[in-house]
Structure 1
Amino acid sequence: MSGPVRIARLGARGDGVTADGLVVPGALPGETVNVIPEEGARGGAARARLEAVLEPSPDRIAPFCPYFGTCGGCAVQHLAPAPYAAWKRDLVAAALARAGIAAPVAPLVDAHGAGRRRITLHVRAGEGGPRAGFMAARSHALVPIDLCPITEPALHGAPGNARRLSGPLGGGGKPLDVQVTATSGGLDVDLRGHGPASARARQTLIGLAGELDLARLSLHGDVLIVRRPPETASGRARVLAPPGGFLQATAAGEAALAGLVAAGTGRARRVADLFAGSGAFSLVLAESRAVHAVESDPGAVAALDRAARETPGLRAVTAERRDLFRRPLLAPELDRFDAVVFDPPRAGAEAQAARIAESKVPVAIGVSCDAATFARDAGLLARAGFRLDAVTPVDQFRHSAHVEIVGVFRREGRRR
């Protein structure tokens, strides 16, 4: 039944939650709101649609994006900065508490910078032509957009570019994903989901790359044309990542994470960087110490190795291709390092963390985009005698429920 309810807290996904667990997207703690229950909600807690705010919170502010509340990307544009920062920090603290880990959690680091430097747009056919945008919250329905205001200005034209690039591939008649990255050389675009394209379509796309002044255009990772190197900076190094390769969401976020990692390793002379990607941390660490980087993706390993060789003044950098989920570095391999950095995908690094726990490494730096898996892996290290000295939440996904975490683990009684 619809009617007024009181919001008790903000949930882990940025939704308002009542004392009895009703989830109300768009509502804030302390508010009285009118809701309409959602029928057929799948799994989890009962949900309701916000109909009206009867008693607004003093922390409520006006969202700046016209798509907020429809697009599924941002969850909390309507929350003032101070309570927003406290909420994100508390997400990390709560996950650690649930895992029984006591550690000081620093205030949230704002790493939005100039905005998101990479986005993935979905293109679908619609009345009047192809539409480009993001998916609605908890839905596969497309929300067409003209621009995303939380991106770097260079990406503001990305939806229009995506629509034009879809033309030779059927105009969205078959679902198409368009990953666009802002680089020093211009926009780097990788088209995915369509499958193989005819020679004629490929030539048309190459022509469009020139018209749109793209740096690089790829189809499923297959490079169609490079007009300028789409490089990004990692410290002093310039990295040419593979098409569609992983990149931290903001330049400010990468710099903040790399700075925290470097500070955490202290005076370590030999560092292992695990799940290294294209070298966001390795290349910064190598400015003052030897680094062994391990990554499973061959394109990322090649990009890291090339950047290391072409950047003067770096210490020794070695790069190894290895699947750390199936074949983690073992304790004897880890023992030759003074510090180990691990930055796994959202699933965490359970197998690798267990091997670190068995090793004699005195310092481990964990970087994560998921508080729950970070806490799980932290528990493995804690039970082996590591102390979680410091935890810093980093906010490069502003207005969302995502938060990056850097944790510094030291073995009790051992410092370097």
Structure 2
Amino acid sequence: MDKVTITELAHKGDGVALVDGQPVFVDGAAPGDVVSLNTDGARAKIVAVHEASSHRVTPPCNHAGHCGGCTLQHLNDRFVADWKRDQIVTALAHRGIDADVASTVCMPPRSRRRAVFAARRNSSGVVLGFHEKSSGHIVEVPGCWVIDPAITAAIPQLETLLADGLTRRGEARVSVTTTQNGLDVAVEMPGKPLDGKLLSRLSAAGQSAGLARLTWNGEPVAQWLDPVILFDGLACTPPAGGFLQAVEAAEAVLRGKVMEALKGLKRPKRTVDLFSGCGAFALPMARLAKVDAFDSDGGAVASLDQAVRNLQGLKPVVSSRRDLFRRPLLPQDLKVYDFAVIDPPRAGAAAQVEQLAASSVPVIASVSCNPGTFARDARTLIDGGYEMGEVTPVDQFRWSPHVELVAVFKRA
């Protein structure tokens, strides 16, 4: 079998090699590897590594290569950090933007406060873990190097809890979040309604497991303690299974850049948080100025409302449910704001950014989890007369190809 050299990593973290003049994508490869491959169309698996890349390391986790949660553990940390930064540089360059991109801020192992597991019942009981890459097979992950140890330690109890509710015909989605008062668990199990018998068993199992809250298909089972999350010391109870930044320290880095930009303004009076979630930015911003917060998730809006009612010493926060993809705030709506922060999902926020670009908002802080859509939206703001400052990459999703980032735009 012919030897080939891995030349680079594609944006999803697969190695790239040329076979008969055509690119193939190779799982678990490192640039510089000399390998033999078993190819299947445009995909390939390594049969033998003849010369290992200088970037290759021994994965720290025993599940690497089987679990699909981590795809880059075979690469050294410095290479991964630089590669993630390069993904942002390349995406911006594709839009004609020559940017000042800082070094990647990396998160430590075992720092994920939120994990979404798959779970199934089989002949031997319940299996809970992560899918193999491109597979429906679930890999159990004791000793996982990504998630918070409090979650890892609870896996056996979660499997016991799920035993009465799972069927062999379906797969459950189990969201687990660490909070100030214990784990917050939200289970989605299609075709298994929460009847009285199941409610009783789940309630007993959840209490035995020491959970803070348990929900089943969006219905509350029980809340034993308030599942509080702190946003820069400000308490909020998020909706069950709702969106949160995956790593608390990563959220702090992103928020730090947002707050630095806000504090740079002289006496800001009114700000707007677009795609606000339950207040990771809005609540700290309210220490300095009035905040109007908008999000399409009714649960997040309700959580932010409740947090504001329970907190003292903040400027007014008004949260509203609004689909910013279909009904973006218009320039006449935005003219009252001194500052805006926008943190959209992976698809970006093309419609809202078009309106921001036509607005008079002096400063916009943009947070993103997708370099491609961030670059598209940055181009729109720049063409609208904004200047982009330094871009800060944050490696929130350790050993995955994903990267978070934040940048500040100022009206020229």
**What TM-score, normalized to structure 1?**
0.94
Taking a change above 3 Å as real, the CA distance of residues 289 and 231 of structure 1, as seen in their structure-2 partners, is: same
> For structure 1, which segment, 341-350 or 316-325, has the greater mean C-alpha deviation from structure 2 after superposition?
316-325
Separation in 1 of the partners of 2:82 and 2:378?
Answer: 22
Separation in 1 of the partners of 2:91 and 2:335?
Answer: 30
Unaligned runs of 5+ in 2: none
CA contact (8 A) 1:7 1:31 kept: yes
Q: Which amino acid aligns with 2:29?
A: A
Q: Which amino acid aligns with 1:50?
A: I
Separation in 1 of the partners of 2:151 and 2:375?
Answer: 34
Q: Is it true that 1:200 corresponds to 2:202 in the alignment? A: no
Q: Is it true that 1:335 corresponds to 2:332 in the alignment? A: no
Separation in 2 of the partners of 1:371 and 1:139?
Answer: 26
Task: Pick one of 67, 80, 83 that aligns with 1:84.
Answer: 80
Separation in 2 of the partners of 1:56 and 1:370?
Answer: 31
CA contact (8 A) 1:105 1:390 kept: yes
Taking a change above 3 Å as real, the CA distance of residues 114 and 73 of structure 1, as seen in their structure-2 partners, is: closer
Separation in 1 of the partners of 2:394 and 2:290?
Answer: 26
Task: Pick one of 200, 223, 227 that aligns with 2:220.
Answer: 223
Separation in 1 of the partners of 2:188 and 2:140?
Answer: 18
Q: Is it true that 1:102 corresponds to 2:106 in the alignment? A: no
Q: Is it true that 1:252 corresponds to 2:254 in the alignment? A: no
C-alpha deviation, 1:232, in angstroms: 0.7
Residue by residue over 1:98-121, the C-alpha shift from the partner in whole angstroms, topping out at 9 and shown as x without a partner, is: 111121111101234751011111
Q: Which amino acid aligns with 1:251?
A: E
Match of 1:25 in 2: 27
Q: Is it true that 1:368 corresponds to 2:365 in the alignment? A: no
Counterparts of residues 17-416 of structure 1 (less than 5 Å): 17-19=16-18, 20-38=22-40, 46-112=42-108, 115-195=111-191, 196-265=193-262, 266-267=264-265, 268-412=268-412
Separation in 2 of the partners of 1:158 and 1:379?
Answer: 45
Residue by residue over 1:371-394, the C-alpha shift from the partner in whole angstroms, topping out at 9 and shown as x without a partner, is: 111111111111111111121111
CA contact (8 A) 2:369 2:405 kept: yes
C-alpha deviation, 1:172, in angstroms: 4.8
Separation in 2 of the partners of 1:304 and 1:257?
Answer: 19
C-alpha deviation, 1:345, in angstroms: 0.8
Secondary structure of 1:21 counterpart: strand
C-alpha deviation, 1:329, in angstroms: 0.6
Separation in 2 of the partners of 1:394 and 1:52?
Answer: 34
CA contact (8 A) 1:146 1:160 kept: no
Q: Is it true that 1:11 corresponds to 2:32 in the alignment? A: no
> For structure 1, which segment, 136-145 or 235-244, has the greater mean C-alpha deviation from structure 2 after superposition?
136-145
C-alpha deviation, 1:16, in angstroms: 1.2
Number of matched pairs:
405
Q: Which amino acid aligns with 1:102?
A: D
4+ long deviations beyond 4 Å: none
CA contact (8 A) 1:113 1:250 kept: no
CA contact (8 A) 2:109 2:145 kept: no
CA contact (8 A) 1:112 1:252 kept: no
Q: Which amino acid aligns with 1:342?
A: I
CA contact (8 A) 1:72 1:134 kept: yes
Cα RMSD after superposing both structures: 1.5
**What TM-score, normalized to structure 2?**
0.95
C-alpha deviation, 1:240, in angstroms: 0.3
Residue by residue over 1:33-52, the C-alpha shift from the partner in whole angstroms, topping out at 9 and shown as x without a partner, is: 121112xx5xxxx1110122
Separation in 1 of the partners of 2:121 and 2:110?
Answer: 31
Residue by residue over 1:292-326, the C-alpha shift from the partner in whole angstroms, topping out at 9 and shown as x without a partner, is: 11111121111112212322222221211111111
Unaligned runs of 5+ in 1: none
Identity %: 42
Separation in 1 of the partners of 2:226 and 2:198?
Answer: 23
CA contact (8 A) 1:162 1:178 kept: no
C-alpha deviation, 1:173, in angstroms: 4.0
Separation in 1 of the partners of 2:306 and 2:126?
Answer: 39
Secondary structure of 1:168 counterpart: coil
Q: Which amino acid aligns with 1:73?
A: G
Separation in 1 of the partners of 2:332 and 2:185?
Answer: 42
Separation in 2 of the partners of 1:286 and 1:154?
Answer: 32
Secondary structure of 1:149 counterpart: coil
Q: Which amino acid aligns with 1:183?
A: T
Separation in 2 of the partners of 1:193 and 1:99?
Answer: 42
